[in-house]
């Protein structure tokens, strides 16, 4: 250990070394010293979370030109990632798997020794001429059984600024850590690598994001996009999933919303949705409270299912945010708040994005440089004014609907869990599982998104995304599902499990059968169902709402008349489409999940039998009234 202390003494200024020397945990000091040796920064800045240091990071993000403050609204800055660095990169994101270990064939992986050699070679001298910024953070509220301490070393002031909005400060928590090898700490080493004249990562062809689950470490190089460079987003989720599996809890891709019921009762409901399936708009429903928009840890606390938000900010997709559909978030991100916009269009001191509810300028600057309408890339494809994956980064606490339990170290009790996909043909808008295992498998394991829809009956493209977390699962998918099943069995009070589908279409016309605001009704019905204030109708695929209950909710919540005709269209059980869905899922499970629990086959096979039995009695398309 003396060797690493000497490295720190030699490379750090006295005041920076003193900040580190107060930390007793030797794993932390060794990690930072090793990174300094590899990356060879000119300077090291240790952030101990003082107001002056936080202000310095924000200022340096501007000074370095990684962000620009040339916007009219106070607190707003913008950042551009490189043209080829606009999202999570599945191809170069890999697990480092040691010899003798095995992960699911569905997961991207590389031999650990080979991967470490490659990534460390790319990181060698990557910070020469730059500053290494060291941030101490925590996942989950402070002083909690949910808390996981984290260290991030980066050479990007933009990344260091972003984590300040997204995560809780952790330096003081690190001062309390004992020097115990058994304490799990998540580590991230990131370098944007060589930068071009626009201060974006130059060597994007050498982008690598590798996860070393043996050492709870994420390595990231030649990228700035936050999903790749902020190690504690989906990258550390992979580490948390392994930890959760070993300890018997759940690390999930969950939003959490506090839903109000009769007499101001508030019920917490979590939900998992793949991208563009309604997750953020559900989390931001007007009149309810948001606790989390993306990630949650879920534990059994004395038999009760409790959850916390892993983060305390939002890294949200901005496309489609407009005053009509998302008034709360639109008003927040157009008001004076500390916000980082990324990969939007900038013109006349304002930011612009796709589907924002107004006409966009014909020119400006964006991630491609100077932009004008009709500009094309090297392949002849038109460059949009704002990227489809353009984002905003903001603290949750500036939202007027931020839940007051955000920092509660005990977490909140979950009354329900939702799984929602983009299913144009099959599932009804909302249904409840018969029990924990049925819901988890029928709506979670069978979660899929249809990417296209053809009215003439041509089959669309389907992507199965188990629990909306498949890309991030760092254990075998079979063990992940098994852990979910066992977690529910150990609870004294089990949350209800719901499946939602906001995208059901008419099979003949292709028209959507729901409006964007109808989701609020399905959520309100769940809240009532959790407390047994309403009954449901048992169908072949789950328990659906009764017409009279929905009619009342539509009037109360949306001041909208809800017809019996609409109800029957939305909640008709489509037997052929549901059976086709089950067959696709079973095929995927047989091909991709070598160790799938037997319950998966039992539940889906039973569902298929119920559908076939109902078909014999009522035909292919069964009105909900037939099940009464």
DSSP 367-412: TTEEEETT-B-TTSPBPPSS-TT-EEEEEGGGSTTB-TTTT-TT-E
Asked, for residue 89, whether it belongs to a domain, the answer is: yes
Task: DSSP letter for 530, please.
Answer: H
* Residue 546 belongs to a domain: yes
Asked if residue 458 has pLDDT above 60, the reply is no
Interval 165-170 mean pLDDT: 97
Note the pLDDT of residue 165: 96
Helices 26-39, 2-11: crossing angle, 10 deg rounding = 60
Q: Give the residues across from 76 on adjacent strands.
A: 339
Would you state the structure tokens that stand for residue 362, as one six-digit string? 């014909």
What is the structure's pLDDT at 456? 31
What's the CA gap between 474 and 251, in Å, rounded? 11
Helix or strand or coil: residue 504?
coil
Residue 515's φ and ψ, nearest 5 degrees, are -90, 165
Q: Are residues 371 and 414 in the same domain?
A: no
Residue 240 shares a structural domain with residue 261: no
* Pair (175, 143) in one structural domain: yes
Q: What value does the mean pLDDT take over residues 197-225?
A: 94
Q: What Rg do the C-alpha atoms of the chain give, in angstroms?
A: 25
| Pick from 529, 528, 504: nearest CA to 516 | 504
> Do both 305 and 431 map to the same domain?
yes
Domain range for residue 287? Answer: 252-313+407-627
Asked if 277 is an active-site residue, the reply is yes
Pairing of strands 217-221, 186-191: parallel
The stretch 57-86 carries a mean pLDDT of 95
Higher pLDDT, 33 or 232: 33
Q: What is the C-alpha separation between 47 and 32, in angstroms, rounded? A: 13
Are residues 259 and 350 both part of a single domain?
no
Task: Catalytic residue, from 277, 312, 358, 402: name it.
Answer: 277
The pLDDT, as a whole number, for residue 455 is 30
Read off the CATH number of the domain in which 353 is found: 2.170.8.10
Task: With beta carbons less than 8 A apart as the criterion, state whether 155 and 39 touch.
Answer: yes
Q: Residue 308: is its pLDDT beyond 70? A: yes
Provide mean pLDDT across the span 420-438: 96
Domain final residue pick, 227, 248, 269: 248
* 102 assigned to some structural domain: yes
Q: How confident is the model at residue 44 (pLDDT cuts 50, 70, 90)?
A: very high
Residues 275 and 338 reside in one and the same domain = no
Among 189, 257, 285, CA closest to 228? 189
CA–CA distance, 520 with 23 (Å, rounded to integer): 48
Q: What angle do CA 469, 233, 465 make, to 5 degrees?
A: 15
- pLDDT attached to residue 47: 98
**Residue 75, in any domain of the structure:** no
What the block records as the tokens of 173 is: 């928590």
- How many domains, the chain? 3
- Domain of 296, CATH number, reads 3.90.228.20
In a domain, 564, yes or no: yes
- Which helix or strand (DSSP H or E) is residue 430 part of? strand 430-432
Identify which has the larger pLDDT, 277 or 419: 419
**Do 531 and 412 sit in the same domain of this protein?**
yes
Give me the percent of the chain exceeding a pLDDT of 90: 85
Decide if pLDDT at 319 tops 50: yes
346 phi-psi bin (left φ>0, alpha ψ -120 to 50, beta other) = beta
Asked if residue 54 is part of any domain, the answer here is: yes
Q: Both 306 and 354 in a single domain? A: no
Residue 590's contacts (CB-CB under 8 Å, 6 or more residues apart) are: 596
Evaluate whether residue 230 is within a structural domain. Answer: yes
191 within 8 A of 126, measured Cβ to Cβ: yes
Structure tokens, 301: 């606390």
Q: Which of 248, 282, 297 is the last residue of a domain?
A: 248
454 pLDDT above the threshold of 80: no
352: left (phi over 0), alpha (psi -120 to 50) or beta: beta
The count of C-alpha atoms lying within 13 angstroms of the C-alpha of 83, restricted to the half-sphere facing its C-beta, is: 13
User: Could you give the CA distance from residue 229 to residue 224 in angstroms, rounded to a whole number?
Assistant: 6
Residue count of the chain, please give it.
628
What are residue 58's phi and psi, to 5 degrees? -60, -40
Residue 619, pLDDT above cutoff 90: yes
* Contact status, residue 499 vs residue 484, Cβ threshold 8 Å: no
Domain-terminating residue out of 377, 398, 419: 398
Give the angle 205-232-52 at the CA atoms, nearest 5°.
105
CB 322 within 8 A of CB 357: yes
Claim to verify: residue 281 and residue 140 sit in the same structural domain = no
* 377-393 pLDDT, tens digit each: 988 999 999 999 999 99
CB neighbour list of residue 408: distance below 8 Å, 6 or more residues apart: 141, 308
Domain with 121 in it: what CATH number?
Answer: 3.40.449.10
What 3-state DSSP class applies to 230? coil
Same domain for 358 and 268? no
Asked if residue 299 and residue 159 are part of one domain, the reply reads no
Residue-level pLDDT at 181: 85
- What average pLDDT does the segment 521-526 reach? 98
In a domain? residue 101: yes
Residues 391 and 441 in one domain: no
Please state whether 216 falls in left (phi above 0), alpha (psi between -120 and 50) or beta.
left
């Amino acid at each position: 250990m003396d060797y690493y202390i000497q490295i720190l003494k030699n490379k750090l200024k006295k005041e920076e070394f003193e900040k580190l020397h107060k930390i007793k945990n030797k794993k932390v000091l060794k990690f930072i010293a090793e990174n300094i040796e590899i990356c060879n920064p000119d300077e090291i800045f240790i952030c101990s979370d003082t107001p002056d240091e936080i202000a310095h990071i924000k200022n340096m993000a501007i000074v370095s030109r990684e962000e620009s403050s040339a916007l009219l609204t106070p607190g707003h800055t913008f950042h551009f990632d490189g043209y080829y660095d606009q999202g999570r990169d599945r191809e170069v994101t890999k697990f480092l798997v040691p010899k003798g270990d095995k992960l699911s064939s569905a997961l991207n992986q590389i031999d650990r020794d080979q991967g470490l050699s490659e990534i460390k070679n790319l990181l060698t001298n990557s910070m020469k001429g730059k500053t290494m910024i060291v941030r101490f953070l925590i996942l989950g509220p402070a002083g909690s059984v949910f808390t996981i301490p984290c260290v991030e070393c980066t050479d990007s002031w933009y990344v260091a600024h972003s984590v300040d909005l997204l995560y809780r400060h952790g330096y003081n928590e690190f001062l309390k850590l004992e020097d115990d090898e058994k304490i799990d700490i998540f580590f991230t080493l990131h370098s944007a690598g060589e930068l071009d004249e626009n201060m974006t990562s130059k060597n994007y062809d050498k982008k690598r994001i590798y996860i070393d689950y043996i050492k709870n470490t994420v390595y990231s190089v030649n990228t700035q996009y936050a999903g790749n460079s902020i190690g504690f987003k989906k990258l550390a989720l992979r580490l948390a999933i392994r930890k959760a599996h070993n300890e018997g809890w759940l690390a999930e891709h969950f939003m959490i919303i506090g839903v109000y019921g009769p007499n101001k009762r508030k019920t917490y409901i979590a939900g998992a949705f793949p991208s563009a399936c309604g997750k953020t708009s559900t989390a931001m429903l007007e009149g309810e409270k948001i606790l989390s928009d993306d990630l949650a840890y879920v534990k059994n606390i004395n038999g009760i299912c409790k959850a916390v938000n892993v983060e305390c900010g939002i890294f949200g997709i901005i496309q489609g945010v407009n005053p009509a559909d998302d008034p709360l978030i639109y008003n927040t991100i157009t008001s004076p708040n500390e916000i980082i916009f990324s990969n939007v269009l900038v013109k006349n001191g304002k930011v612009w994005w796709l589907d924002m509810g107004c006409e966009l300028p014909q020119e400006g600057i964006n991630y491609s440089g100077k932009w004008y309408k009709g500009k094309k890339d090297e392949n002849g494809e038109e460059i949009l004014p704002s990227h489809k994956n353009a984002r905003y980064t903001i603290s949750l606490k500036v939202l007027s609907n931020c839940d007051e339990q955000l920092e509660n170290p005990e977490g909140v009790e979950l009354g329900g869990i939702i799984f929602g996909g983009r299913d144009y043909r099959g599932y009804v808008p909302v249904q409840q599982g018969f029990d924990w295992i049925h819901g988890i498998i029928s709506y979670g394991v069978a979660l899929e998104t249809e990417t296209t829809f053809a009215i003439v009956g041509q089959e669309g493209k389907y992507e199965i995304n188990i629990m909306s977390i498949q890309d991030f699962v760092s254990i075998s998918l079979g063990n992940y599902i098994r852990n979910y099943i066992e977690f529910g069995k150990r609870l004294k009070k089990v949350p209800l499990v719901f499946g939602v589908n906001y995208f059901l279409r008419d099979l003949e016309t292709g028209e959507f059968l729901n409006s964007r605001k109808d989701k609020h009704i399905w959520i309100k019905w769940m809240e009532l169902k959790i407390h047994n204030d309403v009954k449901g109708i048992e169908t072949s695929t789950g328990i659906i709402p009764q017409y009279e209950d929905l009619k009342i909710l539509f009037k109360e919540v949306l001041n909208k008349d809800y017809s019996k005709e609409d109800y029957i269209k939305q909640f008709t059980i489509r037997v052929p489409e549901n059976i086709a869905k089950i067959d696709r899922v079973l095929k995927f499970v047989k091909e991709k999940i070598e160790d799938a629990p037997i319950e998966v086959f039992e539940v889906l096979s039973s569902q298929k039998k119920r559908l076939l039995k109902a078909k014999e009695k009522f035909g292919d398309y069964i009105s909900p009234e037939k099940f009464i």
